[in-house]
Chains A and B, each alone.
Chain A
Amino acid sequence: NAGVTQTPKFRVLKTGQSMTLLCAQDMNHEYMYWYRQDPGMGLRLIHYSVGEGTTAKGEVPDGYNVSRLKKQNFLLGLESAAPSQTSVYFCASRHLRGEKSRWNSPLHFGNGTRLTVT
């Protein structure tokens, strides 16, 4: 049981390049989230998904796209990377099935992807 796995761990991109960050969870969680973490800013939500085939925008979605074709995977894409997207990206998942568990369910995080755009 690996939990939430993010790949790659590190990446350096040049401005204008594209890449995809992969998040995989093996806990059969319904909800998945992509956050970015910048110094002094805490975690800010980029996009999230409430189930397979569905995605929604978070607080800072511009410049990113996401897809959730399979329940266990949530992909974050950068079509044309910019220096402002230099950050640490975290994926998280959450189990929200059932009324009793719904408000007792924490997030499970991956270990992050450190992205530098030059």
Chain B
Amino acid sequence: SQQGEEDPQALSIQEGENATMNCSYKTSINNLQWYRQNSGRGLVHLILIRSNEREKHSGRLRVTLDTSKKSSSLLITASRAADTASYFCATDATGGSYIPTFGRGTSLIVHP
């Protein structure tokens, strides 16, 4: 069963706009991870945010985590056509199993 659920399922924007994707999860977590998947390829790790962190940045990416609401958001600023991909969140639940559970993903299309 999916622990994380991304919202929206699909997002279509113009180049230069910001893209925001959200992830909600159900149980207590140790960390939350965001991955990108280009068509026909494997997932690539973007950012990992630990449960005691509230915000993290990497280049044009900004991730926030609200453990009280069990939610996270991924913001891509000044999007580019090359950002077109599917984005997934994954969580490591507390308990030490080290088995990340993935959501169904958000499909982002950035029009040039």
List residues of A whose CB falls within 8 A of some B CB: 4, 31, 33, 35, 40-43, 45, 48, 50, 58-59, 90, 92, 94, 96, 102-112
Contact = CB atoms under 8 A, between A and B. Distances in A.
A40 B99 contact: no
A4 B41 CA distance: 12
A96 B96 CA distance: 11
B50 to A, nearest CB: 6
Contacts of B25: none
Contact of A43 (B41, B50, B102): B102
A42 B98 contact: no
A108 B43 CA distance: 8
Given A42-B2, A42-B104, A42-B105, A103 B30 contact: yes
Interface residues of B, number: 25
A103 B41 contact: no
Contacts, number: 57
15 contacts: A33-B99, A42-B2, A45-B101, A59-B1, A92-B43, A94-B98, A103-B92, A104-B50, A105-B48, A106-B35, A108-B45, A109-B42, A109-B44, A111-B42, A112-B41
Contacts of B88: 42-43
Contacts of B98: 31, 50, 94, 96, 102
A59 B1 CA distance: 8
Interface in B53-109: 88, 90, 92, 98-105
Contacts of A45: 99, 101
Interface centre among A45, A48, A103 (most CB of B within 10 A): A103
B31 interface: yes
Given A103-B31, A106-B33, A111 B45 contact: no
A36 to B, nearest CB: 11
A93 to B, nearest CB: 11
Contacts of A104: 31, 48, 50
A90 B102 CA distance: 13
A23 B106 CA distance: 27
B99 A110 contact: no
